[in-house]
Structure 1
Amino acid sequence: MARQPIERVLIVGGGTAGWITAAAMSKLLPKSIKIELIESDAIRTVGVGEATIPQIRRLNMMLGLDEMEFVRETKGTFKLGIEFNNWGGKGESYIHTFGDVGMPLASLPFQHYWLRAKEAGQADDLWQYSLHRRACDAGRFAPLERVGRTPMGGLSYAFHFDAGLYARYLRKFAEAHGVTRTEGLIEDVALDSETGFIRSVSLKSGEVREADLFIDCSGFRGLLIGGALGVDYVDWSKWLPCNRAVAVPCERTDPLLPYTKATAHDAGWQWRIPLQHRTGNGHVFCDGFTTEEAATETLLAHLDAPTTADPRPLRFTTGRRKDFWHKNCVSVGLSSGFLEPLESTSIHLIQSNVSRLLELFPDKSFNPATIREYNRVVGKEYELIRDFLVLHYHQTEREDTEFWRYCKNMDVPDSLREKMALFEESGTIYREADDLFRDSSWIQVMVGQGVAPTAYHPMADRLSDDQLKDFLGNVDRIIDQAVAKLPTHAEFIDQTCAAGA
């Protein structure tokens, strides 16, 4: 059978999801494919996803973006990790950094040497051996290649940025690469009576737009995937019970921290995201354990500067679409699912889904095997991220409120239970191939929230006590020397990518 290439792609919805999709497709697909994006200025985007993880740098590199220009145009800052306060227990704090802790030795991961030293009373805090944590504590940042090489490698980093400015930045890029933007509200979706495929969308203006492939970036509404095609939503609230948020910006405060803060409260948690021109804040909570009024009061009581706008409420249900790709429609962004912003994965899932779609890009036959494979791999990634988020809530000693008692005692997915059991028994992390989070991420969150391994790998006993002491001391000195060479986070931004007034 002769192949029938896709000729027209229609993206429904703008915001971060729509414009990442448009930018990537316009960069990588043949120019013969016409890409159109429909959005309406009358529909407000969620726009609270201002923190990212290091994978966004791959997207920037693929698009050929200048990193310093990107940070300047989005009034961004740099991010080395997330500080979690009051999660394992009230008054406790740890950072999930983007880098490894320590260094492996003779093919054995560092945590086993640390566990041996800890058992012998020679070591205590795991993060004493984290380059990223100590850079965070010092408020310092720069790509390490700018200040000299270190045996520990460079700093792995991501960004905080203004999501509205980011969408605008990507829109400029996409339009320069041939994407057509149409302003308008969609009033109707027409399906083919024989195939059930989407044939066209009708705008309030009366215009009709046809396409071969439709990308649903319409947010929580799921205008195409849910509304027109009726694909069910799988609710994960039993594991991730938070379903509301209140967001508010406030004035910038110094020092400018190179990390996000996530502080647990009685029925949820609060984010703090530092930008060049302001600080983004929000309180994620469960309305089964508190009210919107109380959550807003808690948020406002824990800000460190005056607000610059009124608090804005948001509603969501954690979970995913039963199918992300159905017929000739692929859901991207909030229309495909939502896993709350605890580990800043929302923007990653957008770029990951677009990347997988480009890898499996169809022709007009829309081969069912291609669609099944896309749904399998995207679904697996959602499940692995879900497990990592559930770990934060479930692995806690907190029982001071009804919310935390529920989280501590809830049943969790078997996949997570087995991973926790393995680490507790042996200090070992077995990472699945599709897992977004590296071994170091799992180790930091488990240790930070109180999972105490009862054993370490016997290969760690190859070192004598003196050799172990020297090894840990050497790691400590390398970190000291590296951090001392870094400028402060604010100094680096002022020198390289400060936004205009």
Structure 2
Amino acid sequence: MEKQRMPEAGPLRRVVIVGGGTAGWMTAAPLAQLLGGRDHAACCEIVLVESPEIGTVGVGEATLPTIRYYNNSLQLDHAEFIRETQASFKLGIEFKDWGHLGNRFFHGFGEFGPAIQNRSSIMHWLRLHGLGGMASHEQWSTATVMAMRNRFVPPEGGEVASAANAYAYAFHFDAGLYAAYLRNYAVARGVQREEGTIVDVSVRPGDGFVTAVTLADGRRIEGDLFIDCSGFRGLLIEGVCQAGYHDWTHWLPCDSAQAVPCARVEPLTPYTTSTARSAGWQWRIPLQHRTGNGHVYCSGYISDDQAGRVLMHSLDGAPQGEPRQLRFKTGMRKKIWDRNVVAIGLASGFLEPLESTSIQLIMDGVGRLIELWPDRRCDTHLADEYNRRMAQQYASIRDFIVLHYKLTRRDDSEFWRYCRDMPIPDTLAHQIELFRRSGRVAILDPDSFAEPSWMSLFLGLGLWPERLDPLLAQIDEQALRQHFERLRQAISQTVDAMPDHGAFIHHHVRAQPVKAAA
């Protein structure tokens, strides 16, 4: 019997990225920075293959504050990036009608004040709230107060904690323009862009490693490591590796979306808006040149025509085209790294964009790949560790999103009654019950949402703890109230001195006008 040939040891000689778009070029850019500019003998080529036949839904993308670390790691010019992508600033997400009709709350970026005796400030606020006479916890979130007053300026004076730096921010930008911006960055650093449609994939007998992809015009592109950024199709990770898929639609039943941009309206708000509808929810993402809108819904409870009408009738600006339809299945691949194929972006899984986590998962997927960078053998233990960490993050984000639906008190539609009554993952059930019984928040994944985010959701959706940490009572009540009042006044005065969000953009990072989307 012929002995199976093992892959050669040694560094990767060529990495092939299958698919462009946001995921492909966000993968290519840091790899180009890491691997480019070396002498020819040691160089690892990076080739990206994208098809002109596959478009994107570029109607605006919302992000989390960590996008700034990604941009900084590439040494991007901050102002140039904002102008080139028509970006605006994001301080958090405003939620409307989620807990019940008429409900409104804000998930802001940042803490609710400094910790007090090793307990978070919001824990002490819960104690005072229980005793009576306290304003909403949102008054102690600088980001939330800024958002509600439509103010923005970057944090200042980070050496000493103050109301002027107790917040974080992210961006809204045009995802298509961002991909193009990163494409220019990557190509300038040596990434080879090949345009064409893949019609065949070659695998090595015995171990099933992918060895090459063949394009429609006959070109054959060989590689040692293949990164699948082909979107929902999962051309390599599913089409070749058959990695399998964890279907989470029983917890997250929305399976469809329609998206359309509309004309920009004033004021230019520094936050995303998520409005619950009868069978899903609607997003609003303000950019410099337009506003991105979309309706995420469950097709089992509303027809596509009805969903389209809900979307179009609730736009606050003139529509720029007709809605574009998307279908999806919420979940993740059972293996995101399989053999010498790593899936990034939608090819690895999909969680609806309720908390703007799509780009976060791309960033972390690329970052972990670099951290666990393989040689040509693509050791299975590296893949196992990568899959473990990605699965942990996916599950944590999944639970955070499920929380939005599960804690609803809405009973005005069959969809919301299903969400209210559905079984949930054991991990989320533990987190809910821990908070309900003790006011404490369990963080099961340090790379996912932190305590302030969970607190914003718990309290915003109307979940209040039955008991609190008994050590909170050690601090004198009146002294604590005075502390909180001083902090609230400092935040209010600091925010009042800030410029309007639109005015800040106009004076510092205004982009050039562009034509409406095709």
TM-score (norm. length: structure 1): 0.97
1:74 to 76, 81, 85: 85
Residue 412 of structure 2 is aligned to residue 415 of structure 1 = no
Q: Indicate conservation of the 8 Å contact 1:15/1:47, yes or no.
A: no
Q: 1:321 to 1:2 in 2, by over 3 A?
A: closer
TM-aligned CA deviation for residue 107 of structure 1: 1.6
Work out whether residues 147 and 486 of structure 1, in 8 Å CA contact, stay in contact via their aligned partners in 2: no
- CA-CA distance at 1:149 after TM superposition: 6.6
Q: Are 2:57 and 2:324, in contact at CA under 8 Å, matched by a contact in 1?
A: no
Alignment check: 8 A CA contact 2:155 2:168 kept: no
1:283 positional shift: 0.2
Does residue 5 in structure 1 map to residue 16 in structure 2?
no
Task: For residue 416 of structure 1, give the secondary structure of its aligned residue in structure 2.
Answer: helix
Write out aligned runs for 1:354-393 (5 A).
Answer: 354-393=366-405
5+ residue gaps, structure 1: none
Query: Which residue does 2:3 correspond to in 1?
Result: none
Matches within 5 A, 1:342-357: 342-357=354-369
Superposed displacement of residue 353, structure 1: 0.3
Please list, as runs of the form range in 1=range in 2, the aligned pairs for 1:283-298 lying within 5 A after superposition.
283-298=295-310
2: CA distance, partners of 1:144 / 1:94: 23
How do 1:13-412 residues align onto structure 2 when only pairs under 5 Å count?
13-29=19-35, 31=38, 32-48=43-59, 50-145=61-156, 151-152=162-163, 153-412=165-424
Name the CA distance, whole Å, in 2 between partners of 1:49 and 1:114: 36
Q: Deviations over 1:362-420 (max 9, x none)?
A: 00111111111111111111000000000001011111100000000000000000011
Please tell me the residue identity of whatever aligns with 1:94: F
Which residue type is aligned with residue 490 of structure 1? Answer: G
Aligned to 2:48, the other structure's residue is in SS state strand
Instruction: Give the deviation of 1:184 after TM superposition.
Output: 0.5
Shift of the alpha carbon at 1:147? 11
Superposed displacement of residue 148, structure 1: 11
Q: Distance in 2 between matches of 1:375 and 1:358?
A: 14
Which moves more between the two structures, 60-69 or 459-468? 459-468
Q: Which amino acid aligns with 2:126?
A: L
Offset of 1:195 from its aligned partner? Answer: 1.6
**Contact residue 59 and residue 261 of structure 2 kept, 8 A:** no
Partners in 1 of 2:290 and 2:244 — Cα distance? 38
Give me the whole-angstrom Cα distance separating, in 1, the residues matched to 2:359 and 2:59.
11
Bigger mean CA deviation after superposition, 113-122 or 251-260: 113-122
Residue 443 of structure 2: SS of its match in structure 1? Answer: coil
What's the offset of the Cα at 1:481?
2.0
Distance 1:104 1:21, change over 3 A: same
Cα distance in 2 for partners of 1:491, 1:106 equals 40
Q: Work out the CA distance in 2 between the residues paired with 1:330 and 1:307.
A: 38
Q: Percent identity?
A: 47
RMSD over aligned CA atoms reads 1.6
Could you state the TM-score of these two structures normalised by the residue count of structure 2? 0.94
- Structure 2 residue identity aligned to 1:495: H
Q: Distance in 2 between matches of 1:331 and 1:80?
A: 30
1:450 paired residue number: 462
Aligned residue number for residue 516 of structure 2: none
Q: Distance in 2 between matches of 1:206 and 1:2?
A: 27
Q: How many residues align?
A: 501
**C-alpha distance in 2 between matches for 1:146 and 1:267:** 45
Conserved 8 A contact 1:188-1:203: yes
CA displacement at 1:69 relative to structure 2: 1.1
- Contact 1:82 1:262 (8 Å CA) reproduced: yes
In structure 2, runs of 5+ residues without a counterpart are 1-6, 514-518
Query: What per-residue deviation string (whole Å, max 9, x for no partner) do you get for residues 266-289 of structure 1?
Result: 000000000000000000000011
